[in-house]
Protein backbone atom coordinates (compact mmCIF):
# COMPACT_ATOMS: atom_id res chain seq x y z
CA UNK A 1 0.00 0.00 0.00
CA UNK A 2 1.21 3.54 -0.70
CA UNK A 3 2.62 6.03 1.80
CA UNK A 4 0.68 8.88 3.36
CA UNK A 5 2.25 12.30 3.91
CA UNK A 6 2.39 13.92 7.33
CA UNK A 7 0.69 17.29 6.94
CA UNK A 8 -0.75 17.75 10.41
CA UNK A 9 -1.87 21.32 11.05
CA UNK A 10 -2.69 22.94 14.37
CA UNK A 11 -6.37 23.90 14.54
CA UNK A 12 -6.97 27.65 14.51
CA UNK A 13 -9.72 30.08 13.60
CA UNK A 14 -8.50 30.56 10.04
CA UNK A 15 -8.31 26.85 9.38
CA UNK A 16 -11.79 26.38 10.78
CA UNK A 17 -13.19 28.91 8.34
CA UNK A 18 -11.36 27.88 5.16
CA UNK A 19 -10.48 24.64 3.44
CA UNK A 20 -7.02 24.33 5.02
CA UNK A 21 -6.11 21.08 6.74
CA UNK A 22 -7.25 20.74 10.36
CA UNK A 23 -5.12 18.93 12.92
CA UNK A 24 -6.52 17.13 15.99
CA UNK A 25 -4.72 15.61 18.96
CA UNK A 26 -4.55 11.85 19.30
CA UNK A 27 -7.29 10.13 21.28
CA UNK A 28 -6.29 8.44 24.53
CA UNK A 29 -6.94 4.74 25.04
CA UNK A 30 -10.56 3.81 25.77
CA UNK A 31 -10.21 0.39 27.34
CA UNK A 32 -13.66 -0.98 28.08
CA UNK A 33 -15.24 2.07 26.43
CA UNK A 34 -17.57 2.34 23.48
CA UNK A 35 -16.35 2.78 19.93
CA UNK A 36 -19.42 4.10 18.19
CA UNK A 37 -20.13 7.80 17.94
CA UNK A 38 -22.92 9.37 19.99
CA UNK A 39 -24.17 12.16 17.70
CA UNK A 40 -26.52 11.75 14.74
CA UNK A 41 -23.83 12.68 12.18
CA UNK A 42 -21.18 10.57 13.90
CA UNK A 43 -23.45 7.51 13.89
CA UNK A 44 -24.50 8.12 10.28
CA UNK A 45 -20.85 8.39 9.24
CA UNK A 46 -20.04 5.11 11.01
CA UNK A 47 -22.95 3.27 9.38
CA UNK A 48 -21.97 4.59 5.95
CA UNK A 49 -18.32 3.55 6.37
CA UNK A 50 -19.33 0.09 7.60
CA UNK A 51 -21.67 -0.35 4.63
CA UNK A 52 -18.74 0.14 2.24
CA UNK A 53 -16.63 -2.60 3.86
CA UNK A 54 -16.82 -6.26 2.90
CA UNK A 55 -14.95 -7.55 5.99
CA UNK A 56 -16.70 -7.60 9.35
CA UNK A 57 -13.50 -8.92 10.95
CA UNK A 58 -11.54 -5.90 9.70
CA UNK A 59 -14.17 -3.58 11.16
CA UNK A 60 -14.10 -5.40 14.48
CA UNK A 61 -10.30 -5.22 14.70
CA UNK A 62 -10.53 -1.56 13.63
CA UNK A 63 -12.88 -0.81 16.54
CA UNK A 64 -10.47 -2.46 18.96
CA UNK A 65 -7.53 -0.55 17.47
CA UNK A 66 -9.43 2.76 17.69
CA UNK A 67 -9.85 2.20 21.43
CA UNK A 68 -6.21 1.17 21.97
CA UNK A 69 -4.70 4.67 21.89
CA UNK A 70 -2.16 3.66 19.23
CA UNK A 71 -3.36 6.07 16.55
CA UNK A 72 -1.54 9.40 16.35
CA UNK A 73 -2.89 12.92 15.68
CA UNK A 74 -5.47 13.13 12.91
CA UNK A 75 -5.39 15.48 9.93
CA UNK A 76 -8.66 16.32 8.19
CA UNK A 77 -8.44 18.09 4.82
CA UNK A 78 -10.53 18.25 1.63
CA UNK A 79 -11.00 14.71 0.37
CA UNK A 80 -8.58 13.22 2.88
CA UNK A 81 -8.12 12.07 6.48
CA UNK A 82 -4.73 10.87 7.71
CA UNK A 83 -2.89 9.66 10.81
CA UNK A 84 0.01 7.45 11.85
CA UNK A 85 -0.70 4.07 13.42
CA UNK A 86 1.80 2.50 15.79
CA UNK A 87 2.69 -1.18 16.26
CA UNK A 88 5.47 -1.52 18.85
CA UNK A 89 8.35 0.52 17.35
CA UNK A 90 6.87 0.68 13.85
CA UNK A 91 4.79 3.57 12.52
CA UNK A 92 2.42 3.13 9.58
CA UNK A 93 1.23 6.11 7.52
CA UNK A 94 -2.52 5.68 7.11
CA UNK A 95 -4.66 7.72 4.71
CA UNK A 96 -8.31 7.46 3.70
CA UNK A 97 -9.36 9.53 0.68
CA UNK A 98 -12.85 10.56 -0.40
CA UNK A 99 -14.28 11.97 -3.60
CA UNK A 100 -14.62 15.75 -3.34
CA UNK A 101 -17.83 17.33 -4.62
CA UNK A 102 -17.43 19.37 -7.82
CA UNK A 103 -18.75 22.92 -8.31
CA UNK A 104 -22.00 21.74 -9.89
CA UNK A 105 -22.73 19.37 -7.02
CA UNK A 106 -22.15 22.08 -4.40
CA UNK A 107 -24.42 24.45 -6.34
CA UNK A 108 -27.22 21.87 -6.51
CA UNK A 109 -26.84 21.11 -2.82
CA UNK A 110 -27.11 24.78 -1.82
CA UNK A 111 -30.10 25.31 -4.11
CA UNK A 112 -31.96 22.44 -2.45
CA UNK A 113 -30.87 23.68 0.98
CA UNK A 114 -32.18 27.17 0.27
CA UNK A 115 -35.63 25.65 -0.32
CA UNK A 116 -35.71 24.43 3.30
CA UNK A 117 -35.85 27.43 5.67
CA UNK A 118 -35.12 25.45 8.83
CA UNK A 119 -32.04 23.78 7.30
CA UNK A 120 -30.93 27.06 5.77
CA UNK A 121 -31.11 28.94 9.08
CA UNK A 122 -29.17 26.28 10.97
CA UNK A 123 -26.43 26.13 8.34
CA UNK A 124 -26.07 29.90 8.31
CA UNK A 125 -25.79 29.76 12.11
CA UNK A 126 -22.87 27.34 11.80
CA UNK A 127 -24.78 24.13 12.59
CA UNK A 128 -25.07 21.00 10.44
CA UNK A 129 -28.72 19.84 10.75
CA UNK A 130 -29.58 16.20 9.99
CA UNK A 131 -32.12 17.36 7.40
CA UNK A 132 -29.21 18.46 5.22
CA UNK A 133 -28.93 14.80 4.26
CA UNK A 134 -32.44 14.94 2.75
CA UNK A 135 -31.45 18.05 0.78
CA UNK A 136 -28.34 16.28 -0.50
CA UNK A 137 -30.40 13.29 -1.63
CA UNK A 138 -32.79 15.59 -3.51
CA UNK A 139 -29.77 17.21 -5.17
CA UNK A 140 -28.34 13.76 -6.03
CA UNK A 141 -25.20 14.64 -4.07
CA UNK A 142 -23.47 12.23 -1.72
CA UNK A 143 -22.33 13.74 1.58
CA UNK A 144 -21.74 10.56 3.57
CA UNK A 145 -19.25 7.95 2.30
CA UNK A 146 -20.61 5.47 -0.22
CA UNK A 147 -19.49 2.67 -2.48
CA UNK A 148 -16.70 3.70 -4.81
CA UNK A 149 -15.67 7.02 -3.24
CA UNK A 150 -13.66 5.79 -0.24
CA UNK A 151 -10.09 4.51 -0.70
CA UNK A 152 -7.77 3.43 2.10
CA UNK A 153 -3.97 3.45 1.90
CA UNK A 154 -1.59 2.21 4.61
CA UNK A 155 2.03 1.07 4.92
CA UNK A 156 0.99 -2.12 6.69
CA UNK A 157 0.79 -5.50 4.96
CA UNK A 158 -2.76 -6.41 6.02
CA UNK A 159 -4.83 -7.98 3.26
CA UNK A 160 -8.20 -6.48 4.23
CA UNK A 161 -9.41 -3.28 2.61
CA UNK A 162 -9.73 -1.19 4.65
CA UNK A 163 -7.09 -2.51 7.04
CA UNK A 164 -7.57 -2.28 10.80
CA UNK A 165 -5.57 0.99 10.93
CA UNK A 166 -7.69 2.68 8.25
CA UNK A 167 -10.90 1.40 9.86
CA UNK A 168 -9.72 2.73 13.24
CA UNK A 169 -9.04 6.12 11.65
CA UNK A 170 -12.60 6.22 10.26
CA UNK A 171 -14.05 5.33 13.67
CA UNK A 172 -12.03 8.07 15.37
CA UNK A 173 -13.17 10.60 12.76
CA UNK A 174 -16.74 9.76 13.82
CA UNK A 175 -15.71 10.87 17.33
CA UNK A 176 -14.51 14.16 15.85
CA UNK A 177 -17.89 14.54 14.12
CA UNK A 178 -19.57 14.21 17.53
CA UNK A 179 -17.97 17.52 18.52
CA UNK A 180 -17.76 19.23 15.11
CA UNK A 181 -20.10 17.77 12.46
CA UNK A 182 -19.16 20.51 9.94
CA UNK A 183 -15.89 18.59 9.38
CA UNK A 184 -17.99 16.44 7.06
CA UNK A 185 -18.24 19.42 4.68
CA UNK A 186 -14.47 19.90 4.85
CA UNK A 187 -13.91 16.26 3.93
CA UNK A 188 -16.10 16.82 0.86
CA UNK A 189 -14.21 19.98 -0.05
CA UNK A 190 -15.72 23.00 1.72
CA UNK A 191 -14.77 24.75 4.96
CA UNK A 192 -17.52 26.14 7.18
CA UNK A 193 -16.94 29.77 6.20
CA UNK A 194 -16.75 29.01 2.49
CA UNK A 195 -19.91 26.89 2.64
CA UNK A 196 -21.85 29.69 4.36
CA UNK A 197 -20.71 32.29 1.82
CA UNK A 198 -21.72 30.07 -1.11
CA UNK A 199 -25.09 29.40 0.49
CA UNK A 200 -25.66 33.13 1.06
CA UNK A 201 -24.91 33.78 -2.62
CA UNK A 202 -27.46 31.18 -3.73
CA UNK A 203 -30.11 32.63 -1.40
CA UNK A 204 -29.40 36.16 -2.67
CA UNK A 205 -29.57 35.04 -6.30
CA UNK A 206 -32.90 33.27 -5.71
CA UNK A 207 -34.28 36.38 -4.00
CA UNK A 208 -33.17 38.63 -6.86
CA UNK A 209 -34.61 36.26 -9.45
CA UNK A 210 -37.92 36.07 -7.60
CA UNK A 211 -38.13 39.89 -7.31
CA UNK A 212 -37.47 40.31 -11.06
CA UNK A 213 -40.20 37.83 -11.92
CA UNK A 214 -42.70 39.67 -9.69
CA UNK A 215 -41.90 43.03 -11.35
CA UNK A 216 -42.53 41.52 -14.78
CA UNK A 217 -46.01 40.31 -13.99
CA UNK A 218 -47.89 43.64 -14.79
CA UNK A 219 -51.41 43.02 -13.57
CA UNK A 220 -50.50 41.95 -10.06
CA UNK A 221 -52.83 38.92 -10.22
CA UNK A 222 -51.03 35.90 -8.69
CA UNK A 223 -50.63 32.98 -11.05
CA UNK A 224 -51.39 29.40 -9.97
CA UNK A 225 -48.36 27.60 -8.58
CA UNK A 226 -46.80 25.45 -11.31
CA UNK A 227 -45.94 21.83 -10.56
CA UNK A 228 -42.43 21.32 -9.34
CA UNK A 229 -42.03 24.61 -7.46
CA UNK A 230 -40.92 24.43 -3.80
CA UNK A 231 -44.25 25.83 -2.57
CA UNK A 232 -46.32 23.37 -4.60
CA UNK A 233 -44.05 20.53 -3.49
CA UNK A 234 -44.66 21.55 0.13
CA UNK A 235 -48.45 21.32 -0.34
CA UNK A 236 -48.19 17.98 -2.13
CA UNK A 237 -45.75 16.43 0.29
CA UNK A 238 -47.02 13.67 2.60
CA UNK A 239 -47.04 14.50 6.32
CA UNK A 240 -43.66 13.97 7.95
CA UNK A 241 -43.12 11.16 10.43
CA UNK A 242 -43.00 11.83 14.14
CA UNK A 243 -39.67 13.05 15.51
CA UNK A 244 -37.43 10.63 17.44
CA UNK A 245 -37.83 10.38 21.20
CA UNK A 246 -36.11 13.35 22.88
CA UNK A 247 -33.83 12.87 25.91
CA UNK A 248 -35.46 12.94 29.30
CA UNK A 249 -35.17 16.25 31.17
CA UNK A 250 -32.34 16.27 33.68
CA UNK A 251 -32.94 16.12 37.42
CA UNK A 252 -33.94 19.48 38.86
CA UNK A 253 -31.56 21.18 41.24
CA UNK A 254 -32.45 21.08 44.92
CA UNK A 255 -32.11 24.12 47.15
CA UNK A 256 -30.77 23.60 50.64
CA UNK A 257 -31.86 26.78 52.42
CA UNK A 258 -35.32 27.87 53.59
CA UNK A 259 -37.62 29.02 50.84
CA UNK A 260 -40.38 31.55 50.70
CA UNK A 261 -43.56 30.89 48.79
CA UNK A 262 -42.40 33.12 45.94
CA UNK A 263 -38.82 31.87 45.83
CA UNK A 264 -39.80 28.22 45.61
CA UNK A 265 -40.57 28.64 41.89
CA UNK A 266 -42.77 25.55 41.27
CA UNK A 267 -42.80 26.25 37.54
CA UNK A 268 -39.51 24.47 36.79
CA UNK A 269 -40.54 21.02 38.16
CA UNK A 270 -43.96 21.37 36.51
CA UNK A 271 -42.31 22.03 33.14
CA UNK A 272 -39.94 19.08 33.63
CA UNK A 273 -42.87 16.84 34.57
CA UNK A 274 -44.86 17.94 31.53
CA UNK A 275 -41.87 17.25 29.27
CA UNK A 276 -41.44 13.77 30.71
CA UNK A 277 -45.16 13.08 30.31
CA UNK A 278 -45.06 14.25 26.67
CA UNK A 279 -42.12 11.97 26.01
CA UNK A 280 -44.00 8.99 27.46
CA UNK A 281 -46.94 9.70 25.15
CA UNK A 282 -44.55 9.92 22.20
CA UNK A 283 -42.96 6.62 23.27
CA UNK A 284 -46.42 5.02 23.10
CA UNK A 285 -47.02 6.43 19.61
CA UNK A 286 -43.63 5.07 18.49
CA UNK A 287 -44.56 1.61 19.80
CA UNK A 288 -42.17 1.44 22.77
CA UNK A 289 -45.07 1.34 25.22
CA UNK A 290 -47.97 -1.02 24.51
CA UNK A 291 -50.43 1.27 26.31
CA UNK A 292 -50.49 5.03 26.81
CA UNK A 293 -49.25 6.10 30.26
CA UNK A 294 -51.98 5.89 32.88
CA UNK A 295 -52.68 8.73 35.33
CA UNK A 296 -50.41 8.65 38.37
CA UNK A 297 -51.66 6.86 41.47
CA UNK A 298 -51.05 8.17 45.01
CA UNK A 299 -47.64 6.50 45.41
CA UNK A 300 -46.40 7.59 41.98
CA UNK A 301 -47.48 11.16 42.59
CA UNK A 302 -45.77 11.11 45.99
CA UNK A 303 -42.57 9.96 44.29
CA UNK A 304 -42.92 12.65 41.63
CA UNK A 305 -43.24 15.40 44.25
CA UNK A 306 -40.30 14.02 46.27
CA UNK A 307 -38.15 13.91 43.13
CA UNK A 308 -38.98 17.37 41.80
CA UNK A 309 -39.98 19.60 44.72
CA UNK A 310 -37.37 22.32 45.34
CA UNK A 311 -38.06 22.62 49.08
CA UNK A 312 -36.26 19.90 51.13
CA UNK A 313 -38.72 20.46 54.00
CA UNK A 314 -41.57 19.18 51.82
CA UNK A 315 -39.52 16.10 50.94
CA UNK A 316 -38.77 15.47 54.62
CA UNK A 317 -42.49 15.56 55.43
CA UNK A 318 -43.20 13.07 52.63
CA UNK A 319 -40.48 10.70 53.90
CA UNK A 320 -41.96 10.79 57.38
CA UNK A 321 -45.56 10.35 56.20
CA UNK A 322 -44.97 7.44 53.81
CA UNK A 323 -43.44 5.16 56.48
CA UNK A 324 -40.76 3.84 54.10
CA UNK A 325 -38.20 6.64 53.70
CA UNK A 326 -35.51 4.51 52.04
CA UNK A 327 -37.99 3.15 49.51
CA UNK A 328 -39.09 6.71 48.75
CA UNK A 329 -35.46 7.84 48.38
CA UNK A 330 -34.74 5.10 45.83
CA UNK A 331 -37.98 5.77 43.98
CA UNK A 332 -37.32 9.53 43.89
CA UNK A 333 -33.83 8.88 42.50
CA UNK A 334 -35.31 6.65 39.81
CA UNK A 335 -37.81 9.38 38.90
CA UNK A 336 -35.12 12.07 38.79
CA UNK A 337 -33.10 10.02 36.31
CA UNK A 338 -35.89 8.50 34.21
CA UNK A 339 -39.30 9.93 35.05
CA UNK A 340 -42.23 7.56 35.53
CA UNK A 341 -40.51 5.08 33.19
CA UNK A 342 -37.56 4.99 35.58
CA UNK A 343 -39.92 4.28 38.48
CA UNK A 344 -41.53 1.43 36.50
CA UNK A 345 -38.11 -0.12 35.86
CA UNK A 346 -37.22 0.11 39.55
CA UNK A 347 -40.41 -1.53 40.82
CA UNK A 348 -41.46 -3.96 38.07
CA UNK A 349 -39.76 -6.80 36.21
CA UNK A 350 -40.98 -7.95 32.79
CA UNK A 351 -39.92 -10.20 29.92
CA UNK A 352 -38.80 -8.16 26.87
CA UNK A 353 -39.34 -9.44 23.30
CA UNK A 354 -36.65 -11.84 22.16
CA UNK A 355 -35.65 -9.59 19.24
CA UNK A 356 -34.92 -6.67 21.59
CA UNK A 357 -32.44 -8.72 23.63
CA UNK A 358 -30.87 -10.20 20.49
CA UNK A 359 -30.36 -6.69 19.09
CA UNK A 360 -28.77 -5.60 22.37
CA UNK A 361 -26.37 -8.56 22.32
CA UNK A 362 -25.36 -7.69 18.76
CA UNK A 363 -24.72 -4.06 19.72
CA UNK A 364 -22.59 -5.05 22.72
CA UNK A 365 -20.57 -7.55 20.68
CA UNK A 366 -19.93 -4.90 18.01
CA UNK A 367 -18.60 -2.33 20.50
CA UNK A 368 -16.41 -4.60 22.64
CA UNK A 369 -13.72 -7.06 21.74
CA UNK A 370 -14.66 -10.57 22.83
CA UNK A 371 -12.02 -10.65 25.59
CA UNK A 372 -13.12 -7.23 26.93
CA UNK A 373 -16.87 -7.81 27.22
CA UNK A 374 -17.65 -8.52 30.91
CA UNK A 375 -19.51 -11.68 31.95
CA UNK A 376 -23.25 -11.13 32.29
CA UNK A 377 -26.31 -12.85 33.71
CA UNK A 378 -29.77 -12.30 32.20
CA UNK A 379 -33.01 -12.52 34.18
CA UNK A 380 -36.19 -10.98 32.73
CA UNK A 381 -35.25 -7.39 31.82
CA UNK A 382 -32.21 -7.33 34.14
CA UNK A 383 -28.66 -7.78 32.79
CA UNK A 384 -26.28 -8.16 35.75
CA UNK A 385 -22.49 -7.98 35.43
CA UNK A 386 -21.26 -11.05 37.27
CA UNK A 387 -19.57 -10.23 40.57
CA UNK A 388 -19.36 -6.48 39.94
CA UNK A 389 -22.49 -5.12 41.60
CA UNK A 390 -23.50 -3.47 38.31
CA UNK A 391 -26.70 -3.96 36.35
CA UNK A 392 -28.60 -2.72 33.31
CA UNK A 393 -32.40 -2.80 33.28
CA UNK A 394 -34.35 -2.65 30.04
CA UNK A 395 -37.45 -0.47 30.21
CA UNK A 396 -40.69 -0.70 28.28
CA UNK A 397 -39.75 2.66 26.72
CA UNK A 398 -36.82 1.04 24.88
CA UNK A 399 -34.15 2.50 27.17
CA UNK A 400 -31.41 0.88 29.27
CA UNK A 401 -31.22 2.02 32.89
CA UNK A 402 -27.87 1.70 34.79
CA UNK A 403 -27.99 0.37 38.38
CA UNK A 404 -25.44 -0.12 41.16
CA UNK A 405 -25.72 -2.39 44.18
CA UNK A 406 -25.56 -0.69 47.57
CA UNK A 407 -25.69 -3.26 50.36
CA UNK A 408 -28.60 -5.54 49.51
CA UNK A 409 -30.44 -3.01 47.34
CA UNK A 410 -30.07 -1.94 43.72
CA UNK A 411 -29.99 1.84 43.18
CA UNK A 412 -30.44 3.79 39.92
CA UNK A 413 -27.07 5.33 39.08
CA UNK A 414 -27.32 7.27 35.79
CA UNK A 415 -29.83 8.47 33.19
CA UNK A 416 -31.10 5.83 30.74
CA UNK A 417 -29.82 5.46 27.18
CA UNK A 418 -31.25 3.82 24.06
CA UNK A 419 -27.83 2.29 23.25
CA UNK A 420 -26.95 -0.56 25.64
CA UNK A 421 -23.26 -0.25 24.75
CA UNK A 422 -23.25 3.42 25.79
CA UNK A 423 -25.12 2.64 29.01
CA UNK A 424 -22.69 -0.18 29.83
CA UNK A 425 -19.64 2.02 29.10
CA UNK A 426 -20.95 4.78 31.39
CA UNK A 427 -21.64 2.23 34.10
CA UNK A 428 -18.13 0.74 33.90
CA UNK A 429 -16.36 4.09 33.71
CA UNK A 430 -18.33 5.88 36.44
Greatest C-alpha distance within the chain? 83
**Would you place residue 301 in the very low, low, confident or very high pLDDT band (cuts 50, 70, 90)?**
confident
Single pTM value for the model = 0.53
Distances (CA, A) of 122 to 73, 85, 261: 30, 36, 41
User: What's the CA gap between 76 and 27, in Å, rounded?
Assistant: 15
- pLDDT of 323 reads 84
Helix (H, G, I), strand (E, B) or coil at 403: strand
User: Under DSSP, is residue 106 helix (H, G, I), strand (E, B) or coil?
Assistant: helix
Q: What is the mean pLDDT of residues 363-371?
A: 70
221/331 Cα distance (integer angstroms): 65
Task: Determine the average pLDDT of the residues in 110-131.
Answer: 89
Q: Return the DSSP state at 310.
A: S
Q: Is the pLDDT of residue 184 over 90?
A: yes
Whole-number Cα distances in Å, 424 to 101, 185, 288, 391: 39, 32, 21, 9
Is residue 22 classed as helix, strand or coil in its secondary structure?
Answer: strand
For the stretch 237-283, pLDDT in tens is: 566 666 666 665 555 444 444 444 444 455 666 676 677 667 667 76
Say how far apart CA 406 and CA 20 lie, in whole Å: 53
For the chain, give the percent of residues with pLDDT over 70.
74
CA-closest candidate to residue 67, choices 25, 33, 43: 33
- The helix (H) or strand (E) run that includes residue 375 is none
- Give me the residue spans of the domains in the chain: 13-196, 267-325, 354-429
Task: For the sheet with 90-98, list strands across it.
Answer: 22-24, 74-77, 80-87, 90-98, 150-154
- pLDDT of 127 > 80? The answer is yes
pLDDT at 108 over 60: yes
- Is pLDDT at 8 greater than 60 in this prediction? no
Amino acid sequence: MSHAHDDHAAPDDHAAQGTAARGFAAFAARRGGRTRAQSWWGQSWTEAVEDTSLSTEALKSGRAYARSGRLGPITVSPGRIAAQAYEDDTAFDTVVTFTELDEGEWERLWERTAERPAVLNELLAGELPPDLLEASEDARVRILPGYGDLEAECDCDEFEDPCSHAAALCYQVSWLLDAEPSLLLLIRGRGTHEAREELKSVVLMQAMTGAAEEEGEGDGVPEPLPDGTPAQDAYDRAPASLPPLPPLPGPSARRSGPLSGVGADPLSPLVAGAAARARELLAHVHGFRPEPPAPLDTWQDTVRIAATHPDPRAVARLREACGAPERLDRAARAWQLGGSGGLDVLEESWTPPHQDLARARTTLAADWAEDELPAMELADNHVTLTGRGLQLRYGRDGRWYPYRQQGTEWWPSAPPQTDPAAALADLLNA
